[in-house]
Amino acid sequence: MISSPVVVIFSFLLLITSTPTTIHAQDGPIETPSSTSSSTSSSPKTPKFNPKNKVLIACGSQEDVSLPDGRTFKSDPSTVSNLSSEEDVKVNVDTLPPPPKDDVSSSKLPPPPPLPLYNSARIFPSAASYKFPISQPGFHLIRLYFFPLPHTTYNLSNAVFRVTTENFVLLHDFTVPNPTPIFKEYLLNLTTQTLTLKFSPKKNSFAFINAIEVISVPDDLISDTASAVPSVENVEGVAKHAFEVALRLNVGGPLLTPRNDTLWRTWYPDEEFNAFPEGTNKTGVNPREVKYPEGGATRFIAPSWVYATAAEMGNADTIKANFNLTWKMPVDPSYDYLIRLHFCDVVSIALNELYFNVYVNGMMGAPSFDLSTLTSALSTAYYRDFVINSTTIANGLVIIQVGPASGGSGDPNAILNGVEVIKMSNSAGSLSGLFDVEGNYMGAASGSKTMKILAVVGLVMGMVALLLVVVMFVRWQKRPLDCPRNNSFSSWLLPLTTSHSSFLSSKSASITASRKSSLFGSRKSNMFASTNQGVGKFFSFNELQDASNNFDENAVIGVGGFGKVYMGKLDDGTKVAIKRGNPQSEQGINEFQTEIQMLSQLRHRHLVSLIGYCDENAEMCLVYEFMSNGVLREHLYGSKLNAPMPWKQRLEICIGSARGLHYLHTGAAHCIIHRDVKTTNILLDENFVAKVSDFGLSKAACLMEQTHVSTAVKGSFGYLDPEYFRRQQLTEKSDVYSFGVVLLEVLTARPAINPALPRDQVNLAEWAMSNYRKGLLEKIVDPNLQGTISSGSLKKYVEAAEKCLAEYGVDRPSMGDVLWNLEYALQLQEASTKTEATEDKSSLLIPLETAPIMGINGVESSSAPTSDDHTEVGASAFSQIANFQGR
Ligand SMILES: *[C@@H]1O[C@H](CO)[C@@H](O)[C@H](O)[C@H]1NC(C)=O
Ligand SMILES: *[C@@H]1O[C@H](CO)[C@@H](O)[C@H](O)[C@H]1NC(C)=O
Ligand SMILES: *[C@@H]1O[C@H](CO)[C@@H](O)[C@H](O)[C@H]1NC(C)=O
Ligand SMILES: *[C@@H]1O[C@H](CO)[C@@H](O)[C@H](O)[C@H]1NC(C)=O
Ligand SMILES: *[C@@H]1O[C@H](CO)[C@@H](O)[C@H](O)[C@H]1NC(C)=O
Ligand SMILES: *[C@@H]1O[C@H](CO)[C@@H](O)[C@H](O)[C@H]1NC(C)=O
Ligand SMILES: *[C@@H]1O[C@H](CO)[C@@H](O)[C@H](O)[C@H]1NC(C)=O
């Protein structure tokens, strides 16, 4: 897991700094926020906290460095006594290099302000540490500044390192690839007499740091108790964590720099994160009017600038009065978060006018929140802490909403003044990754044992592979005579026949229908004959009402984001699945359209077919072929567990699904990214043929012109590609990642996320891979499969899964490669059972005529119907895909 979710951009930074600031010195005599006149010099200086412990170091700098906020960072020579480092490498520049033009502006997180601190750095070719005496224990702010300056020997963009304290991991496998500043801010309760900040380079790499800041903060900055969401009881023990500030917003107000804050913090404006700016009015009072109550919020909790400005609901005449103000903030979803919300009633004219609800991640955080009772005065600062569990973070977003509640005497309204999103350390005591301070992978067993096992398994694999090649060659020599002689060895492997191509164009729609009838033993020809669009039949709402017994709740076979799915029976007796959209949901309408668009272009044996649709009187329904064996998940650990599926069948299902996805990525005119690959979106028909379903989130991306599409993060928690989440750039490799999770789910028969398990087991991908790396593969295999999987097959399979789960998309295989590996795993499994049965080595390979090897075009086994009806459209593309050279 990369340590920095903050990808910074200069352009945004310029934008902020060039915006005329309208607010002047803190707590002094001030103009109203709308005034633009400047009288900074005449404003008295902001009274600041005088920290007991204070470390300010400009690493690598020959001279002290003064900041605009009036503080001075000490030079390197004057602090070298606190550093223990074997080498003495420094770098200094007069001006920073220009920011990159093609920066990764996909991140919505704002960049840190430019500071002279980034002009020098210290480089550590080997582990080094700074030690500072801590005279007063308690919470401290630790701020780290990074910028990869140019250096003749070291390319700082390639530095990969860890930063740890005595008890916590701050950064792991940290790297600053782009020439943009990175600012990290931590809140730690320091309990030892010294603070050791250790920089440990990764093997063959090095570390660097531009500046370090450690200041003690008032003890009441972090309280041990917070509201749980949904609010039942309070959460205790909050303060025992280490914290990293992910984002701090001055809602409704301007950027606040360290000059304007009591603890030299930075507060960003909220516009970037406001999901409904049209409905939002900014409002505010003079900061001097903000009152701090006895025993409540202090100016160290947040300066009066934060409390003085707010967002409130926009004009009630033009917008429906009842809606939520909504902020969405991207976070790393593998951590719990402390969410601190700041409120100050700067909108009401009298007390008891304003009642509103506060929601965190869609759950009620505080119902009928009543600032009048909580503060008993207007314009009074108030804050509340919420702790959210990582399991409630969907799509990598923390969502804060405020909306009116009944009971207030004024117009419906809701406000928010400030937000802090603060990451909490995990069970490994880390804010970055799952390695503890000692570098143990969640208390992993010794690595050497793992290596030995891997080596042995690798050797066995190699021998099996060699044997296979020999056997294949022997069989090739003895191949049937009707197999054309001039075929190359590899093309002999591929039963490619041009007639087996795609259904892309459904010119011959009625023939497609007859194929369908033969496959599903039902009569659907009328539907497909009625259209030549591929969209299928248009149904009237009445027809569907009849078919589903008036949408009988007992006929519900599934519930999705789009709405409920009902089982139905058409007039002619065909069983269908009817997905009925929720017309209120705008998301629903979009997904409905996406799905019709996608499915009308796609026909594949491993994709669920759309039979028709209904779009009438605000009712939206999609009608699909009925899949009598339901979703894959139910067969793994759900209601259909009574007959656990054997390994071979599971492999075949994985292969089928992989084929469907491979077709999506490469077979259609455009590369289509599914975006929601999971075991509930893989359906099984009566013959347990796997079909990928639910294209509501899918996106078409043309592979030729661009390799990714930039988009808001969508998908399902537990399956979400971490890289996609970080960069919000979608590639087909995100599906590959999700499919890797599916593979593990099939092997282990447990959900992708199981919040009921101990912390280190919650996430399937992490848990399974950690056991795999420890050589404890047998620990994760579904007990129902124990002893039935050939070791070669298992090895190949898990290898494929591991590759799918690679941190970076570029390191993941294509679906075609995954497919190949799964086919291989199936062959190894078959081979092992055959040799057991007959002791005949020559039968290691399954007979070619029935082998599902590498048939990409959707018809692979002898049980599949003939498909001469397929058009030629995809043929050339497929022959390119079906290229297994170099393996
Ligand atoms: C912050 O303080 C500085 C100096 O006191 C002032 O020039 C600037 O306008 C202030 N900015 C804001 C947003 O308060
Ligand atoms: C460096 O170490 C010395 C001795 O431990 C200490 O007095 C001094 O305050 C330290 N410097 C900083 C910046 O903490
Ligand atoms: C440093 O490494 C990065 C990433 O490998 C590369 O893009 C950059 O060109 C290198 N810079 C120099 C000066 O070699
Ligand atoms: C910091 O930790 C110490 C030791 O665990 C504890 O006694 C102290 O109360 C903590 N400080 C705060 C502010 O929570
Ligand atoms: C929102 O702002 C607009 C323009 O400033 C103003 O006309 C309107 O009355 C405001 N709405 C509310 C509810 O304050
Ligand atoms: C406000 O958001 C909450 C949580 O997402 C939701 O339950 C509620 O229906 C929303 N209210 C309105 C009026 O949209
Ligand atoms: C999050 O949920 C898991 C499982 O329900 C639980 O073990 C963990 O303690 C929770 N974390 C917090 C901070 O409540």
Cα-to-centroid distance, 217 and ligand 4 (Å): 13
Per-residue pLDDT tens over the stretch 296-337: 899 999 999 999 999 998 765 545 567 899 999 999 999 999
Per-residue pLDDT tens over the stretch 338-385: 999 999 999 998 888 888 999 999 998 888 888 988 888 999 999 999
Cα-to-centroid distance, 236 and ligand 7 (Å): 12
Residue owning the nearest CA to atom 8 of ligand 1: 24
Tokens read off for 686 = 């009566």
For a mutational test of ligand 4's pocket, the pick from 189, 190, 216, 224, i.e. the residue with the most ligand atoms closer than 8 A to its C-beta, is 189
The torsion angle over the Cα atoms of residues 163, 166, 167 and 172, rounded to 10 degrees, is 10
> Over 80: is that where the pLDDT of 709 sits?
no
| CATH number of the domain where residue 371 is located | 2.60.120.430
Same domain, 128 and 174: yes
- Per DSSP, helices labelled H in 401-488 are 447-477
> Over 90: is that where the pLDDT of 144 sits?
yes
Ligand 6 in reach of 323 Cβ (< 6 A): yes
Angle between helices 764-773 and 732-748 (to 10 degrees): 70
Residue owning the nearest CA to atom 3 of ligand 2: 82
Residue owning the nearest CA to atom 5 of ligand 6: 362
Q: What is the DSSP string of 568-633?
A: EE-TTS-EEEEEEE-TT-HHHHHHHHHHHHHHHH---TTBPPEEEEEEETTEEEEEEE--TT-BHH
Cα-to-centroid distance, 385 and ligand 6 (Å): 20
- Provide the percentage of residues in the chain whose pLDDT is more than 90: 38
The ligand minimizing its distance to the Cα of 159 is 3
Ligand 6 in reach of 401 Cβ (< 6 A): yes
Nearest-atom number in ligand 4 for the CA of 239 is: 14
For a mutational test of ligand 3's pocket, the pick from 155, 204, 205, i.e. the residue with the most ligand atoms closer than 8 A to its C-beta, is 155
Domain boundary among 158, 185, 217: 217
Domain boundary among 625, 658, 676: 625
Q: Is residue 859 part of a domain?
A: no
Nearest-atom number in ligand 6 for the CA of 322 is: 13
Per-residue pLDDT tens over the stretch 620-665: 888 888 888 888 998 888 777 778 899 999 999 999 999 999 888 8
The ligand minimizing its distance to the Cα of 80 is 2
For a mutational test of ligand 3's pocket, the pick from 102, 152, 157, 160, i.e. the residue with the most ligand atoms closer than 8 A to its C-beta, is 157
Please report the pLDDT score of residue 71 as a whole number.
Answer: 93
Please report the pLDDT score of residue 513 as a whole number.
Answer: 32
Which of 295, 279, 532, 563 is CA-nearest to residue 401?
279
Cα-to-centroid distance, 170 and ligand 4 (Å): 19
Q: Is residue 470 part of a domain?
A: no
Average pLDDT, the chain: 76
Same domain, 307 and 386: yes
Same domain, 255 and 389: yes
| CATH number of the domain where residue 738 is located | 1.10.510.10
Q: Give yes or no for a contact between 335 and 424, defined as CB atoms under 8 angstroms apart.
A: yes
Residue written as token pair 């701050």? 170
Cα-to-centroid distance, 719 and ligand 6 (Å): 26
Ligand 5 in reach of 113 Cβ (< 6 A): no
Ligand 6 in reach of 327 Cβ (< 6 A): no
Same domain, 637 and 688: yes
> Over 80: is that where the pLDDT of 778 sits?
yes
For a mutational test of ligand 2's pocket, the pick from 132, 194, 216, i.e. the residue with the most ligand atoms closer than 8 A to its C-beta, is 132
Query: Count of domains in the chain?
Result: 5
Query: At a CB cut-off of 8 Å and minimum separation 6, what does 645 contact?
Result: 635, 636, 653, 688
pTM score of the predicted model = 0.55
Q: Which residues of 341-375 are buried (b: 16+ CB within 10 A; e: fewer)?
A: bbbbbbbbeebebbbbbbbbbeeebbeebbbbeeb
Residue owning the nearest CA to atom 3 of ligand 4: 191
Count the neighbouring beta carbons within 10 Å of the beta carbon of residue 795. 20
Please report the pLDDT score of residue 126 as a whole number.
Answer: 93
| CATH number of the domain where residue 595 is located | 3.30.200.20
Question: Among residues 76, 385, 676, 694, which one is catalytic?
Answer: 676
Cα-to-centroid distance, 249 and ligand 4 (Å): 27
Same domain, 761 and 704: yes
Per-residue pLDDT tens over the stretch 213-260: 999 999 899 999 998 887 667 889 999 999 999 999 999 999 999 988
Q: Which residues of 498-509 are buried (b: 16+ CB within 10 A; e: fewer)?
A: eebbbbbbbebb
For a mutational test of ligand 2's pocket, the pick from 53, 56, 65, 81, i.e. the residue with the most ligand atoms closer than 8 A to its C-beta, is 81
CA-to-CA dists, residue 441 to 206, 437, 531, 754, angstroms: 21, 10, 58, 20
Ligand 6 in reach of 322 Cβ (< 6 A): yes
- pLDDT (average), residues 55-64: 94
Same domain, 773 and 818: yes
The ligand minimizing its distance to the Cα of 57 is 2
For ligand 4, residues with CB inside 6 Å are: 138-139, 189, 191, 219, 239
Q: Return the half-sphere exposure (C-beta side, CA atoms, 13 A cut-off) of residue 839.
A: 0
Q: Give yes or no for a contact between 170 and 134, defined as CB atoms under 8 angstroms apart.
A: no
Ligand 6 in reach of 321 Cβ (< 6 A): no
Cα-to-centroid distance, 727 and ligand 3 (Å): 20
Cα-to-centroid distance, 249 and ligand 6 (Å): 22
Ligand 7 in reach of 335 Cβ (< 6 A): no
Cα-to-centroid distance, 501 and ligand 5 (Å): 60
Q: Which of 282-286, 372-376, 536-540 is the least confident region?
A: 536-540
Please report the pLDDT score of residue 872 as a whole number.
Answer: 30
Nearest-atom number in ligand 6 for the CA of 363 is: 4
Ligand 5 in reach of 277 Cβ (< 6 A): no
Per-residue pLDDT tens over the stretch 171-189: 999 999 888 889 999 999 9
Cα-to-centroid distance, 312 and ligand 5 (Å): 9
Nearest-atom number in ligand 2 for the CA of 57 is: 13
The ligand minimizing its distance to the Cα of 280 is 5
Give the domain range for residue 611: 500-625
Q: Which residue has the higher pLDDT, 461 or 38?
A: 461
- pLDDT (average), residues 448-462: 53
Same domain, 211 and 230: no
Ligand 5 in reach of 314 Cβ (< 6 A): yes
Query: At a CB cut-off of 8 Å and minimum separation 6, what does 559 contact?
Result: 565
> Over 90: is that where the pLDDT of 155 sits?
yes
Q: Give yes or no for a contact between 491 and 860, defined as CB atoms under 8 angstroms apart.
A: no
Ligand 6 in reach of 137 Cβ (< 6 A): no
Give the length of the chain: 887
- pLDDT (average), residues 121-125: 95
For ligand 1, residues with CB inside 6 Å are: 21, 23-25, 40, 254-257, 259-260, 305
The ligand minimizing its distance to the Cα of 584 is 6
> Over 50: is that where the pLDDT of 779 sits?
yes
Query: At a CB cut-off of 8 Å and minimum separation 6, what does 603 contact?
Result: 502, 503, 504, 506, 512, 534, 609
Which of 551, 550, 573 is CA-nearest to residue 564?
551
Ligand 7 in reach of 336 Cβ (< 6 A): yes
Tokens read off for 222 = 């972090």
Same domain, 229 and 204: no
Q: Which residue has the higher pLDDT, 743 or 708?
A: 743
- pLDDT (average), residues 45-64: 85
For a mutational test of ligand 6's pocket, the pick from 324, 402, 586, i.e. the residue with the most ligand atoms closer than 8 A to its C-beta, is 324
Q: How many Å apart are CA 555 and CA 538, to the nearest integer?
A: 22
Please report the pLDDT score of residue 119 as a whole number.
Answer: 92
Please report the pLDDT score of residue 310 as a whole number.
Answer: 96
Please enumerate, by residue number, every residue annotated as part of a binding site for ATP.
579
Of the ranges 44-58, 356-370, 715-729, the best mean pLDDT one: 356-370
Q: Is residue 235 part of a domain?
A: yes
Same domain, 694 and 608: no
Cα-to-centroid distance, 254 and ligand 1 (Å): 10
Task: Note the Cα 48 to chain centre separation in Å.
Answer: 39
Please enumerate, by residue number, every residue annotated as part of a binding site.
579
- pLDDT (average), residues 438-446: 62
Per-residue pLDDT tens over the stretch 547-581: 888 888 888 887 766 678 888 888 888 889 888 87
Ligand 5 in reach of 315 Cβ (< 6 A): yes
Q: Is residue 451 part of a domain?
A: no
Per-residue pLDDT tens over the stretch 586-608: 666 777 777 777 777 777 888 88
Please report the pLDDT score of residue 80 as a whole number.
Answer: 92
> Over 60: is that where the pLDDT of 829 sits?
yes
Coil, strand, or helix at residue 358?
strand
Q: Is residue 102 part of a domain?
A: no
Q: Is residue 565 part of a domain?
A: yes
Active site residue 676: yes
Same domain, 34 and 61: no
Q: Is residue 886 part of a domain?
A: no
Residue owning the nearest CA to atom 3 of ligand 3: 157
Q: Which of 436-445, 748-757, 816-825, 855-864 is the least confident region?
A: 855-864
Ligand 6 in reach of 359 Cβ (< 6 A): yes
Domain boundary among 400, 424, 448: 424
Q: Is residue 258 part of a domain?
A: yes
Report the relative pairing of strands 72-73 and 729-730 from DSSP bridges.
unpaired
The ligand minimizing its distance to the Cα of 224 is 4
Same domain, 683 and 731: yes
Q: How many Å apart are CA 773 and CA 548, to the nearest integer?
A: 49
Cα-to-centroid distance, 324 and ligand 6 (Å): 6
Nearest-atom number in ligand 2 for the CA of 194 is: 5
Please report the pLDDT score of residue 594 as a whole number.
Answer: 74
Residue owning the nearest CA to atom 1 of ligand 1: 260
Tell me which DSSP letter residue 865 carries.
P
Ligand 7 in reach of 393 Cβ (< 6 A): no
Q: Which residue has the higher pLDDT, 813 or 860?
A: 813
Please report the pLDDT score of residue 38 as a whole number.
Answer: 35
What Rg, from alpha-carbon coordinates, does the chain have? 31
Tokens read off for 410 = 């004024």
Same domain, 600 and 655: no
